[in-house]
């Protein structure tokens, strides 16, 4: 398949970039009135160029003035190679250096250098400009690349430059056509009778006329009503091409630069990005932990807070892992390169590559897991990545590919191999997990139950929702937590109790204060005798200062320990009182043949309303059974008498 290449034309203001583009392509990219009036580029200009071999490329002429830095970055964000322009009469200037840094941060791989305005310099000055440029590009992607003297006045060097561009483009791989279609918008226009047309470089994939698209981050669905490449209508556009897309039923007010177009559901939007940052070499380059910056991924520009993972600051020339917390949602692709500038200073201080779209915020407590994982993502080592997955997540090839930007097929192949070897656990309905991580999570769930109940002895058990919440940032799904609990229960590690889970034979010790209160509650229960008492009554008669909820929880605790009996109306009895009641009821039934709730006033000293819960409890424990409204003794108790 044919590859399409974009070439960024970069350099200091008034160094002849636009004149070079005009000479090579015949297109004047300064079209705005303000540009013509001021004699400098403000917006990025695009020109189609036919090379001697017949290949068509796009020249991207970016502004050279520091006031228009954001337009420069946007213009260079998707180029495959570069032409660095240095005026012979000026030599290397501040924006020459900055533009080269931007190209480096954006991972541009090929290009040439042009010493422009050669007609304005004598041979010695021309040679000096060349030496300065050669020194500047040492250690960069332009080291060893050809240099050409050029004059727009007499077109000296034009033929050589075109031939060099032909050779350089042949060395480039071009953008990925197999990936989903993605395009970041860099221009928005509205035409009467046509509607809204956006422009941008196709970052990946192929788009056909009438394909359905999603506008991100808004989520608005639309359709590619018509397509153009350099003003020529076409039925499809491919990775690397400069495309104009007429969007169906989308007004220009709903669009802005930096938005992304892709098929629905293909590109995630996020506020969190894990990345590697590389600082520039200039002495002023300094980035502090939790500092706010302007982040430029592609044609987007967004304010973000930087959380450095390995140190408190990055200085000139240093690298480090970091998380960007963006102020708004951002459509993003792992593997995408970016640059950063300070909030109020139009100067690039660094750049780097997005390593992954994380599922949660970075915390220093997670550094021991996250940092090795990100280093492995940086190395693009898929087998090592599967060994370092930092959470219990299902090893789904599609999800891992989206998270890291690495090939789905490579993940799928490695996962299948590990399933065959028994290194992965496949759980129906839940997914595929690393065996060691799964077993560690089983232990962690058991420990969550143990430590929680140990810390709060009055708590009898934990339900699945509580356990999931206690697991913190580990992404345990409802289905997975239920499976983990079922396995622990099957192995006898936990037991069910009152709708929750606890550990068998777990001994928990109350605090000194609560031990004193329980003694007072047991004393009160003895004084209450056979009359069941409420939580409120126990609280009112408790001399130790405590809350009503504390008393209620302690009564439940004593009930679980079988030191009190809890009836279904939340009234309580002491063991001695229960035995006394059982004796009275047994004697009464043996004498009368049965007991009716109406007999309770004479027998127990309180009426039917208070007696029914007592009688129902006796039924529950198998002491009596109900026949109509009457109670009879279970046979074994009648025989014992």
pLDDT-derived band of residue 641, with 50, 70 and 90 as boundaries?
A: very low
Q: Identify the burial level of 332 via C-beta atoms within 10 angstroms of its C-beta, where 0-12 means exposed, 13-18 middle and 19 or more buried.
A: buried
Q: What pLDDT sits at residue 569?
A: 94
pLDDT in tens, 68-79: 899 999 999 999
Nearest to 132 by CA among 147, 117, 120: 147
Cα–Cα distance between 640 and 192 in angstroms, integer?
Answer: 101
**Cross-strand partners of 315:** 286
Q: Identify the burial level of 366 via C-beta atoms within 10 angstroms of its C-beta, where 0-12 means exposed, 13-18 middle and 19 or more buried.
A: middle
3-class DSSP state for residue 122? coil
Asked whether the beta carbons of 162 and 114 are under 8 A apart, the reply is: no
- Is the preceding omega at residue 396 within 30 degrees of 0, hence cis? no
Residue 427 has, within 13 A of its CA and on its CB side, a CA count of 21
Asked whether the beta carbons of 263 and 180 are under 8 A apart, the reply is: yes
Q: What pLDDT sits at residue 40?
A: 62
Average pLDDT over residues 355-380: 93
pLDDT in tens, 545-589: 889 998 998 998 899 889 999 999 999 999 999 999 999 999 999
Contacts 24+ apart (CB under 8 A), 442-449: 442/484, 442/487, 442/488, 444/471, 444/474, 445/471, 445/481, 445/484, 445/485, 445/488, 446/488, 446/493, 446/494, 446/503, 449/494, 449/501, 449/502, 449/503
Look at 31-40, 237-246, 332-341, 568-577 and tell me which has the smallest mean pLDDT. 31-40
Cα–Cα distance between 395 and 375 in angstroms, integer?
Answer: 19
Q: What pLDDT sits at residue 35?
A: 56
| 45-46-47 Cα angle (round to 5) | 125
Q: What length does the chain have?
A: 641
What percentage of residues in the chain have a pLDDT greater than 90? Answer: 76
The DSSP secondary-structure symbol of 364 reads G
Average pLDDT over residues 352-362: 93
3-class DSSP state for residue 640? helix
The DSSP secondary-structure symbol of 346 reads -
Mean pLDDT score across all residues of the chain:
92
Average pLDDT over residues 116-141: 94
Nearest to 10 by CA among 91, 92, 87, 76: 76
Structure tokens at 131: 């030496």
Nearest to 370 by CA among 391, 392, 393: 391
Residue appearing with tokens 């660095």: 84
Q: Given a cut of 50, is residue 471 above it in pLDDT?
A: yes
Q: What pLDDT sits at residue 391?
A: 72
Nearest to 530 by CA among 591, 597, 600: 600
Asked whether the beta carbons of 559 and 460 are under 8 A apart, the reply is: no
Q: What pLDDT sits at residue 506?
A: 78
Structure tokens at 625: 């059974």
Structure tokens at 359: 């599922």
Cα–Cα distance between 397 and 410 in angstroms, integer?
Answer: 8
81-87 and 6-11: which strand pairing?
Answer: parallel
pLDDT-derived band of residue 32, with 50, 70 and 90 as boundaries?
A: low
The DSSP secondary-structure symbol of 62 reads -
Q: What pLDDT sits at residue 29?
A: 84
Q: Given a cut of 70, is residue 225 above it in pLDDT?
A: yes
User: Between 455 and 295, whose confidence is greater?
Assistant: 295
The distance between the two most distant Cα atoms of the chain, rounded to a whole number of Å, is: 132
Q: What pLDDT sits at residue 470?
A: 85
**Cross-strand partners of 495:** 502
Residue 309 has, within 13 A of its CA and on its CB side, a CA count of 26
Nearest to 257 by CA among 365, 317, 354, 183: 183
Q: Helices marked H in 337-434 — which ranges?
A: 367-379, 382-388, 397-404, 408-421
Average pLDDT over residues 143-167: 96
Residue appearing with tokens 């044609």: 299
Asked whether the beta carbons of 603 and 615 are under 8 A apart, the reply is: no
The string of DSSP codes covering 199-222 is EEEEEESEEETT-EEEEETTTEEE
Cα–Cα distance between 594 and 633 in angstroms, integer?
Answer: 8
Q: Given a cut of 50, is residue 524 above it in pLDDT?
A: yes
Nearest to 101 by CA among 82, 87, 116: 82
Torsion from C-alpha of 379, 383, 385, 387, nearest 10 degrees: -140
Average pLDDT over residues 89-100: 95
Q: How far does CA 221 lie from the centroid of its chain?
A: 23
Torsion from C-alpha of 99, 103, 104, 108, nearest 10 degrees: -160
pTM above 0.85, yes or no: no
Q: Given a cut of 70, is residue 83 above it in pLDDT?
A: yes
pLDDT in tens, 308-353: 999 999 999 999 999 999 999 999 999 999 999 999 888 999 999 9
Q: Given a cut of 90, is residue 25 above it in pLDDT?
A: yes
Average pLDDT over residues 89-108: 96
Going from the C-alpha of 460 to that of each of 177, 560, 575, 617, the distances in angstroms are 59, 8, 20, 21
Average pLDDT over residues 598-612: 92
pLDDT-derived band of residue 614, with 50, 70 and 90 as boundaries?
A: very high
């Amino acid at each position: 398949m044919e590859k399409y290449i974009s070439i960024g034309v970069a350099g200091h203001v008034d160094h002849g970039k636009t004149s070079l583009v005009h000479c090579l392509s015949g297109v004047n990219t300064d079209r705005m009135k303000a540009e013509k009036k001021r004699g400098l580029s403000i917006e990025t200009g695009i020109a189609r160029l036919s090379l001697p071999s017949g290949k068509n490329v796009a020249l991207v002429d970016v502004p050279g003035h520091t006031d228009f830095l954001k337009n420069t970055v946007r213009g260079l964000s998707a180029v495959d190679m570069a032409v660095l322009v240095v005026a012979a009469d000026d030599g290397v200037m501040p924006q020459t250096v900055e533009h080269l840094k931007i190209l480096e941060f954006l991972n541009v791989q090929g290009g040439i250098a042009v010493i422009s305005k050669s007609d304005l310099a004598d041979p010695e000055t021309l040679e000096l400009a060349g030496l300065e440029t050669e020194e500047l590009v040492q250690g960069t992607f332009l080291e060893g690349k050809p240099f050409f003297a050029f004059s727009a006045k007499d077109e000296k060097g034009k033929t050589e430059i075109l031939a060099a561009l032909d050779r350089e483009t042949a060395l480039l791989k071009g953008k990925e056509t197999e990936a989903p279609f993605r395009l970041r918008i860099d221009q928005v226009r509205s035409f009467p009778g046509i509607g809204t047309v956006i422009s941008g470089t196709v970052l990946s994939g192929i788009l056909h006329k009438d394909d359905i698209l999603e506008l991100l981050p808004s989520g608005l669905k639309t359709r590619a009503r018509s397509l153009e490449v350099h003003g020529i209508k076409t039925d499809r556009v491919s990775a690397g091409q400069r495309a104009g897309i007429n969007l169906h039923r989308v007004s220009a007010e709903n669009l802005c630069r930096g938005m992304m177009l892709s098929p629905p559901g293909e590109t995630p939007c996020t506020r969190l990005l894990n990345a590697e940052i590389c600082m520039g070499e200039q002495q002023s380059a300094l980035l502090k932990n939790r500092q706010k910056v302007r982040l430029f991924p592609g044609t987007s520009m967004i304010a973000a807070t930087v959380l450095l993972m390995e140190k408190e600051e990055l200085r000139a020339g240093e690298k480090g892992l970091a998380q960007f917390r963006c102020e708004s949602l951002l459509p993003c692709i792992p593997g995408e390169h970016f640059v950063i500038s300070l909030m109020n200073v139009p100067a690039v201080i660094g750049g780097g590559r997005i390593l992954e779209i994380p599922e949660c915020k970075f915390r220093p407590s997670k550094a021991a897991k996250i940092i090795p994982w990100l280093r492995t993502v940086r190395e693009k080592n898929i087998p090592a990545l599967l060994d370092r997955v930092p959470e219990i997540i299902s090893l789904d090839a599609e999800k891992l590919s989206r998270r890291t930007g690495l090939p789905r097929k490579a993940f799928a192949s490695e996962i299948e191999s590990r399933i065959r070897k028994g290194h992965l656990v496949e759980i129906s309905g839940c997914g595929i997990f690393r065996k060691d991580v799964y077993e560690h999570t089983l232990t962690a769930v058991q420990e969550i139950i143990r430590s929680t109940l140990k810390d709060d002895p009055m708590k009898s058990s934990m339900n699945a929702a509580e356990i999931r919440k206690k697991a913190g940032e580990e992404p345990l799904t409802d289905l997975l937590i239920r499976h983990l609990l079922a396995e622990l229960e099957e192995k006898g590690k936990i037991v069910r109790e009152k709708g929750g889970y606890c550990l068998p034979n777990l001994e928990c010790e109350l605090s000194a204060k609560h031990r004193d209160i329980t003694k007072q509650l047991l004393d009160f229960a003895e004084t209450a005798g056979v009359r069941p008492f409420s939580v409120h009554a126990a609280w009112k008669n408790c001399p130790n200062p405590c809350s009503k909820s504390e008393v209620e929880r302690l009564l439940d605790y004593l009930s679980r320990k079988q030191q009190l009996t809890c009836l279904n109306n939340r009234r309580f009895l002491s063991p001695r009182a229960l035995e006394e009641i059982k004796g009275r009821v047994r004697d009464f039934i043996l004498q009368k043949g049965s007991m009716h709730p109406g007999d309770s006033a004479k027998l127990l000293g309180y009426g039917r309303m208070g007696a029914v819960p007592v009688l129902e409890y006796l039924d529950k424990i198998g002491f009596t059974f109900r026949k109509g409204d009457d109670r009879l003794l279970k046979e074994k108790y009648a025989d014992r008498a």
